[in-house]
Chain A
Amino acid sequence: MWKENIKPVLRGVKYSLYMVRQNPLTIIGISIFLGFILMAIFAPAIAPYDPYEINPPELLQPPSSQHFFGTDECGRDIFSRVIYGARISLAAGLTITIISMIIGSIIGIVSAYMGGIVDDIIMRIADVFLSFPWIVMAMAINSVLGRGIINTVIALSIVWWPIYARLIRSQALSIKQMPYTEAIRALGAGKLRIIFIHILPNSLSPVLVQASLDIGGAILWCAALSFIGLGAQPPSPEWGAMITVGSHYLRESWWYATFPGLMITIVVLGFNLLGDGLRDIIDPRLRR
């Protein structure tokens, strides 16, 4: 029986694979994404050195066969640190995106379904969040909560949800008018069932695309807040924090800040390509 149940799913997967093959950029995006994930998971196996191990004789060594990306001011291997940094960035990026997606989706969909005054109030609150320069607000919240990567995650999630709320609301408003929503209501379904089992899955595809694009953004802004000293603190191998310290040595040791910066660039690019590809697969209307 499970074989029969899985059949439609298999057909969907097959179609998606076909769609992915059509677009080389999507393949690049997926490769970067997978590489990043594997790097984060198998960091201890890949990294040749302990990222926290101080090695005074080898301060600020340029890239060589021993130290692919050189060493930092304490003699720590930058290659190993960059690889461990992937764990922090992945965890932070995913958490920010998932938290803001869940909060935003619930608020947005309830707002759309309830309509009227509830909708007005929720959307005006979202407007307040969106009208304020959000990176400034994230900095302010992060400063109030105190330094640290967890507070950065909280701060970014707080400023990020209105994007999802707006997005899913606009979708849900049109789904709410569809005859099948009325049909299931006529069959005796309750409010919660209609909202979360019938409207939500139909409104979700643009949200998932936005999320896949946003993971890259979340990693970038998390690194940015760490760079200005609000997020991860040294000696954590967080990429943004590494760039902060590395920037002091930029004249004589170019490799220190360059490689973490390069990693951020590649990962964010990867997530953007992946997001574009996903959008093409999920929403055929947007296909070029």
Chain B
Amino acid sequence: MDELLNKNILVIKNLKTYFYTYEGVVETLDGINLTFEKGKVVGLVGETGSGKSVTALSILRLIPWPPGRIVDGQIYFKGQDILKLSEYDMQKIRGNEIAMIFQEPTTSLNPVYTVGHQIEETVKIHNKINDQEARERTIELLKMVELANPKRIYNQYPHELSGGMQQRIMIAIALCCKPDLLIADEPTTALDVTIQAQILELILELKERLGMTILLITHDLGVIAEVCDQVAVMHAGVIVEKGEVHSIFRDPKHPYSKGLLKTIPKIDENQDILQEIKGEVPKLINPPTGCRFHPRCPYTMDICRKKRPDEYIVGNSHFAACFLCK
């Protein structure tokens, strides 16, 4: 256990986050286990509603109560269980040691303040420095995210910038305190393809320079293949498969991962119909018994309806939660 905590910057154990709604309890995360090796990029893929963003918010303890609550599990960050910290201590970690980039840069910046002001604000929350130093640091950060003419941008409002520039600003804000862990929640979804590539490249480059660990949440398998070291596939609040990115892409074990990879259109084949996975992410108010994927699975067996599969080792640090792999 100790060795596990020393080697990995973040260890999530049996994390359960439930939402208590009028209609019933929604078991959004039901026993997540994940480990983050220092300096690696970990991808988290899954369909909309599979619980990717809730995982990210749970790590930062930003699940809004009511209605959401982390009901069980541990999250060890640098060896200490952050679920046991006080809100005050947690505030010091947020933005300082764990930072987050959001999906929509346009709405993630406060429209009433200039860009410079917003970066400075975060710098000042976590560091005791005067205005002059904060300003210098801000200009430096704007240069770091490769924005041309940082002095001009410093005085501009978010609406005056393009989506790509806004996302660079978000990155600058997230990195202002040199965090150890960066959570990027679909950082490129709202951007067009060329800008996507630039932003991903920037994130990777800064990761090397600052020695960060990154949790990259996306539903774009292309992005995962390109930038991640490890990948975890999520379905209905459960991690169904995880491992090194090449081993999962080359040889997916779980039927869901297989289906997911098949949905990528092939460029060298003439495909008339796009592949899909049948059905949709099940409603988590009354989740399916046993394996949560069994209603959609082409290989459903009797045991799948009755028992929840454990994580079985299927290769070198490659796990899959499926009875087929037992």
Contact = CB atoms under 8 A, between A and B. Distances in A.
Interface string A184-195: 111111100100
A186 B114 contact: no
Contacts of B156: 8
Interface stretch (A17-25, A175-183, A239-247): A175-183
Contacts of A201: 112-113
B97 to A, nearest CB: 9
A67 interface: no
Contacts of A183: 100, 102, 108-109, 170, 173
B110 A188 contact: no
A49 B311 CA distance: 94
Interface residues of A, number: 23
A63 to B, nearest CB: 51
Majority SS at the chain A contact face: helix
Given A186-B95, A188-B126, A202-B112, A178 B173 contact: no
A187 B157 contact: no
B107 A185 contact: no
Contacts of B102: 179, 182-183, 186
Interface of A: 4-5, 7-8, 115-116, 178-180, 182-190, 193, 197-198, 201-202
A8 B108 contact: no
B71 interface: no
Contact of B100 (A7, A186, A197): A186
B61 to A, nearest CB: 10
Nearest to B106: A179
A186 B121 CA distance: 13
Given A179-B107, A180-B107, A185 B62 contact: yes
Interface string B79-107: 00000000000011111100110111001
Interface in B100-145: 100, 102-104, 107-114, 121-122, 125-126
Given A4-B151, A179-B108, 9 more contacts: A8-B157, A116-B66, A178-B107, A186-B60, A188-B92, A188-B95, A189-B91, A190-B91, A198-B110
B162 interface: no
A180 B109 contact: yes
B155 interface: yes
A180 B113 CA distance: 11
Chain B interface residue bracket vs A? 20 to 34
Contacts of A186: 60, 62, 94-95, 99-100, 102
Contacts of A202: 110-112
Residue of B108, B110, B114, B154 with highest tally of chain A CB at under 10 A:
B110
Interface of B: 60, 62, 66, 91-96, 99-100, 102-104, 107-114, 121-122, 125-126, 151, 154-157, 170, 173-174
5 contacts: A4-B151, A184-B121, A186-B62, A186-B99, A188-B92
A258 to B, nearest CB: 46
Contacts of A189: 91, 95, 121, 125
Nearest to B158: A180
B320 to A, nearest CB: 32
Contacts of A187: 94-95, 99-100, 122, 125, 173-174
A187 B172 CA distance: 12
Contacts of B114: 8
Nearest to A175: B110
A240 to B, nearest CB: 39
A198 B117 CA distance: 12
A223 to B, nearest CB: 36
A188 B91 contact: yes
Given A4-B155, A5-B155, A116-B66, A188 B108 contact: no
Closest 5 CB pairs of A and B: A187-B95, A188-B95, A188-B94, A186-B100, A183-B108
Nearest to A198: B110
B17 to A, nearest CB: 16
A94 B93 CA distance: 44
A186 B179 CA distance: 12
Given A7-B155, A186-B95, A186-B100, A180 B66 contact: no
B104 A179 contact: yes
A264 B118 CA distance: 45
A187 B109 CA distance: 12
Nearest to B152: A4
Contacts of A182: 62, 102, 108
